[in-house]
Structures are given as C-alpha cells and as structure tokens.
C-alpha cells in the first residue's frame, strides 16, 4: 500500500464514525488495522515475509502522518519477476529435485527460475534479465495471483 492510499484511508477513517477498521491487501499481504480505542494504527508485515525494520509512524489527532519509507524505496534498484497467470508456484520440477534458483544465485535471460501450474499445465517462468537472485517472495506450492511479485533480481 503506497503512502497516498494510506493517507486517504486515514482521512476516510478520521471522517467516519467507525470505532475499528481492518483491511488486508491480499496482493502484498499487508494488513492495516485502525482503532479509535488505540491511539496508533498498526501495519503488520506479510505473514510469509520476515519482519521489517519499518515501524508505523504515529498519527496526529488531525490524521496527519510524517513521510513513510516503503519497501519500494529500498528495492527500487531491483527487478521483479511477476506471475504471468493465476496458479500454483513451484520452485522445482518435483519435491525430490533441487530448486531452480536460491537467493544469491546468478541467472541469465531465458533461464528457468520457477514453475506456475495453471489448470494442470506446468508453465516455466524464465528470467528476463541477467543478475543475482535477491529474494524469492513465494513459498513452494503456494497459490499466486496474476501479476504477483515472485522473485527479486539485482541486475548486473
């Protein structure tokens, strides 16, 4: 969720008579929970991702927030491979096989990095740039949505 959307959400909440509001963004796995009973809203990281060092900034009574640093700012030099379809993400051709890639591996354009199974068809997903695998964002055998980020690559 970007800063503009978060500010808009806070304004809508401030203008409403709601006591509590919780929104979960399934694409990024971000959860936002607002409550008038608690003076600070909280934003939890995705369940499958490691905790980040970002803390939710305090919100003033007027609903104003200081600038927010997002993961997008930290990862702006990274290339994202996204799911081309809805399906199931697999890191290898079978559970007994080694994964196609791991964090730290070097990849070349055209190299298979994972499989997305859709309607019993195994679709090989290939790297489209040369670089180093920084992070694999999806666990093996997890469902993925269209255009969901799968892998982060540092171009070389």
Average pLDDT over residues 126-153: 96
Per-residue confidence (pLDDT) for residue 54, from 0 to 100 = 47
Indicate whether 21 and 45 sit together in one domain.
Answer: yes
Indicate whether 98 and 148 sit together in one domain.
Answer: yes
Kindly indicate the confidence band of residue 72, based on its pLDDT and cuts at 50, 70 and 90.
Answer: very low
| Phi and psi, residue 103, nearest 5° | -60, 135
Whether residue 44 is predicted with pLDDT greater than 60 in this model: the reply is no
Which strands form 30-35's sheet, in the order they lie side by side? 20-25, 30-35, 42-44
Indicate whether 63 and 92 sit together in one domain.
Answer: no
Whether residue 84 is predicted with pLDDT greater than 60 in this model: the reply is yes
The residues, ordered by sequence, that sit 6+ positions from 115 with a Cβ below 8 Å of its Cβ are: 89, 90, 92, 93, 100, 122, 123, 124, 125
Indicate whether 55 and 115 sit together in one domain.
Answer: no
Average pLDDT, the chain: 78
Per-residue confidence (pLDDT) for residue 30, from 0 to 100 = 66
Number of domains, the chain: 2
Indicate whether 67 and 83 sit together in one domain.
Answer: no
- Nearest 5 degrees, angle CA 134-CA 99-CA 151? 30
Where does a domain end: 26, 47, 71? 71
- The residue that leads in pLDDT, 16 or 99, is 99
Where does a domain end: 50, 71, 92? 71
Please tell me the least confidently modeled range out of 3-12, 19-28, 54-63: 54-63
Indicate whether 63 and 85 sit together in one domain.
Answer: no
pTM: 0.53
Indicate whether 146 and 107 sit together in one domain.
Answer: yes
Average pLDDT over residues 85-105: 95
- The residue that leads in pLDDT, 106 or 64, is 106
Whether residue 145 is predicted with pLDDT greater than 90 in this model: the reply is yes
Indicate whether 85 and 65 sit together in one domain.
Answer: no
Per-residue confidence (pLDDT) for residue 22, from 0 to 100 = 74
Average pLDDT over residues 23-39: 65
Domain assignment of residue 44, given as a range: 3-71
Distance (Å, rounded) from C-alpha 24 to C-alpha 83? 20
Strands 142-144 and 87-90: antiparallel
Where does a domain end: 71, 93, 108? 71
Please tell me the least confidently modeled range out of 39-48, 72-81, 134-143: 39-48
Burial class of 98 by CB neighbour count within 10 A (0 to 12, 13 to 18, 19+): exposed
Distance (Å, rounded) from C-alpha 81 to C-alpha 44? 24
CATH number of the domain that residue 95 is part of? 2.40.50.100
Kindly indicate the confidence band of residue 26, based on its pLDDT and cuts at 50, 70 and 90.
Answer: low
Indicate whether 60 and 21 sit together in one domain.
Answer: yes
Indicate whether 106 and 60 sit together in one domain.
Answer: no
Indicate whether 62 and 107 sit together in one domain.
Answer: no
Indicate whether 136 and 95 sit together in one domain.
Answer: yes
């Amino acid at each position: 969720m970007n800063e503009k959307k978060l500010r808009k959400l806070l304004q809508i909440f401030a203008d409403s008579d709601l006591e509590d509001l919780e929104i979960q963004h399934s694409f990024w796995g971000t959860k936002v929970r607002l409550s008038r009973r608690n003076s600070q809203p909280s934003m939890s990281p995705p369940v499958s991702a490691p905790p980040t060092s970002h803390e939710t900034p305090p919100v003033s009574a007027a609903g104003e927030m200081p600038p927010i640093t997002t993961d997008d700012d930290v990862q702006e030099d990274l290339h994202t491979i996204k799911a081309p379809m809805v399906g199931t993400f697999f890191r290898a051709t079978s559970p007994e096989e080694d994964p196609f890639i791991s964090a730290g591996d070097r990849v070349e354009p055209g190299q298979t990095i994972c499989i997305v199974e859709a309607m019993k068809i195994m679709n090989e997903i290939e790297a489209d740039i040369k670089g180093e695998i920084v992070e694999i964002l999806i666990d093996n055998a997890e469902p993925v949505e269209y255009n969901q980020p799968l892998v982060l690559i540092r171009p070389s």
